[in-house]
Structure 1
Amino acid sequence: MKIATYNVNGIKARLPVLLRWLQETTPDVVCLQELKAPQENFPEEALKDAGYQAVWQGQKSWNGVAILARNTQPELVRQGLPGDPEDEQSRYLEARVNGIHIGCIYLPNGNPAPGPKFDYKLRWFDRLIAHAAGLLASDAPVVLTGDYNVIPTEADAYKPERWLDDALFRPESRAAFQNLLAQGWTDALRKLHPDEHIYTFWDYFRNSYGRNAGLRIDHFLLSPHLESRLVAAGVNRDVRGWDKSSDHAPVWIEVADEKV
C-alpha cells in the first residue's frame, strides 16, 4: 500500500499538477494540506474522475486538509484536533482506509517567533502530542503525516545556520517534535534513509529548487504496527520542478500488507 502526503499550496491553482502526479504515481492514499479553498470549492468531481474519493475540511483562503483514497471511500473519523473547541483553523483530519488509521496534519508555521503565532504553534503541538498518545494506546496501525512545519535536525536544512531564529527550527519546535517521536513513533524517511540529505520543500525565491537549497518539513510518523511493515519511502522531487507546482514535493511511503 502506497501512502503519500502533499502540501499543494492552493488546490485550485495546483489541480493540473495534482492530477498529473496522481496519474503518474497512483498512490493508494493521499493526504493534502493547504487547500486554501472553502468546503464547497473542493474539486471532488475532478478527483473522482481520476479514481479518488475524498474527505476534506476546507477553509476560505487559508489552511484546509483532505484525505484521498484510490477506488474506495475513506471512512471519516475526526475533523479537527481535540483540545481547543475555539480553534476554527482547518489543520487536522483523520480517516480509516483499508484498515489503517490516517491522521493528516498541517501544523502551524508559527512565524514570527517569538509572538502569538509561535505560541499558537506550540499549543497546537501540545494538543497533537496528547492526541497522538491516545492513538498509540489504541493499538491500531496509525500514520501521522503531513506538513509539520518543523525542521527536526541540522541535516534537514540546507545551511541550517540561516534558520536559527525561524519558528520551524527554534529549539521549542524541535523539542516538541522529539517529544512526539519519544512516544514510540518512527520517522519513516529517516528510518530508511538515515544519512541522506532529503528535502521536501524549496522556497520560490533565490532559485532554491535549482540549487537544492531545501528543507525537510513534511514527515511520516508510523506506529509500531506500521514501522514493522515499512518497505520503502521517498520524495517525488521532480514534481517540484513542474510548471506552476507547489513549493513542496509529494512524500510517500510503501507498507507491506498485514500478515494473517
Structure 2
Amino acid sequence: MKVATWNVNSLKVRLPHVLDWLAANKPDALCLQELKLEDKAFPVAELEAAGYHAVFIGQKTYNGVAILSPQPIEEATVVRNIPGFEDEQKRIIAATIDGVRVVCGYFPNGQAVGSDKFEYKLRWLAALTEWLREELKTHERLVLAGDFNIAPEDRDAHPDWKDEIHVSEPERAAFRALQGLGLIDAFRLFEQPERAFSWWDYRMMAFRRNFGLRIDHLLVSPALREACRSCAVDKEPRRLERPSDHAPVVLDLALGA
C-alpha cells in the first residue's frame, strides 16, 4: 500500500500537477492539504476521470483537506474535523482504506510564538492527540499524514533557520505527545539524506539553496511499523513551473492479510 501526503497550496492551481503525479505514482491513498476551495468547487469529475475517488472538506481561500484513492471510500468511515473540538477551519479528514485508518491533517501554522494563532495551534494539537488516542483503540492500523507545520528536531530545519515558529519547544512537545500515543515517524525508520526537507519558501531562491524545513510527515501506529518498506520526499513536483512550496512525502507499506 502506498500512502502519500502533499500540501498542494491551492488544488485549483496545482490540479495538473496532481493528476500527473497520480498517473506516475499510483498511490493507494493520497492525502492533500491546503485545498483553498469550497466543496462545490472540488474537481470530482477530473479526479474520477483519472481513476480516483475522493472525500474532502474545504472552505473558500484557506485550509481544506482531502483523501484520494483508486477504490471507493465508504462514507460511513469518514470523519471530518476533530470530534468535540469546535472549529470553523477545515483541517482534518479521516477514512478507512484497505483496512488502514488514514487521517489527513493540515495543522495550524501558528504565525508567531505567543500569538493567538499559536495558542490555537497548541489547543488544536491537544484536541487532535486526545481524539487519536481513542481512534487507536479501534483502529490498530493507523497512519497520520499531513502538513504538521512542525519540524520535530534540529536536523529537520536548515541550520540558518532563525524563526521560532515551527521549531519552538511547545510545538515539538506537541509532536512528541503524538509519538507518545505510540505513533512512529516513518521517515526516520530509514536512512535519509542530510538536510532532507519537504517545504521551501518561494522567496530567496530557497529551493535552489535547499533552505527548507521537514514539516510534512507520516506517522504510523505500532502495528504498521514492520510493514514500512520506504519513506521519502519526492522533490520532483517542487521543480515544476508554478509548484506548491511543499513536496509530496511517500510511504510504502507491505501489508499482510
Q: Report the TM-score range of the alignment, normalised by the length of the smaller protein.
A: over 0.9
Calculate the aligned-residue CA RMSD, in Å. Answer: 1.3
Cα deviation for residue 107 of structure 1 reads 0.5
Structure 1-normalised TM-score?
0.95
> What secondary structure sits across from 1:102 in the alignment?
strand
Task: Give the equivalent residue in structure 1 for 2:26.
Answer: 26
Once residues 192 and 54 of structure 2 are traced to their aligned partners in structure 1, the CA distance between those partners, rounded to angstroms, is 33
CA change 1:92–1:183 in 2 (3 A) is same
Tell me the amino acid that sits aligned with residue 68 of structure 1.
L
The aligned counterpart of 2:144 is: 144
Moved over 6 A (4+): none
CA distance in structure 2 between the partners assigned to 1:190 and 1:105 by the alignment: 20
The residue type equivalent to 1:247 in the other structure is D
Which residue of structure 2 lines up, in the alignment, with residue 245 of structure 1? 243
| Equivalent in 197, 202, 205 of residue 204 of structure 1 | 202
Offset at 1:182? 1.6
Moved more, 203-212 or 16-25: 16-25
**What SS class does the counterpart of residue 210 from structure 1 fall into?**
helix
CA distance in 2, matches of 1:73, 1:208: 39
Is contact 2:100–2:139 with CA below 8 Å preserved after alignment? no
CA distance in 2, matches of 1:95, 1:81: 13
Return the alpha-carbon distance in structure 1 between the equivalents of residues 105 and 245 of structure 2. 17
SS at match of 1:46: helix
Please tell me whether residue 75 in structure 1 is matched to residue 74 in structure 2: yes
Question: Using the alignment, how far apart are the partners of 2:17 and 2:182 within structure 1?
Answer: 35
SS of structure 2 residue aligned to 1:197? coil
Per the alignment, residue 55 of structure 1 pairs with 55
8 Å CA contact 1:54–1:74 kept in 2: the answer is yes
Q: Secondary structure at the match of 2:162?
A: helix
d(CA) in 1 for partners of 2:18 and 2:172?
Answer: 30
SS at match of 1:162: coil
Give 3-state SS (helix, strand or coil) of 1:183's partner: coil
Aligned to 2:253: 255
- Superposed displacement of residue 135, structure 1: 1.9
8 Å CA contact 1:17–1:244 kept in 2: the answer is no
Q: Give per-residue Cα distances to partners, 1:140-169, cap 9 Å, x unaligned.
A: 200000000001011001125513x22x11
Gaps of 5+ in 1: none
Gaps in structure 2 of 5+ consecutive residues = none
Q: How many residues matched?
A: 255
Aligned partners of 1:107 and 1:179: how far apart in 2? 15
Question: 1:215-230 maps to which residues of 2 (within 5 A)?
Answer: 215-230=213-228
2:159 maps to 1:159? yes
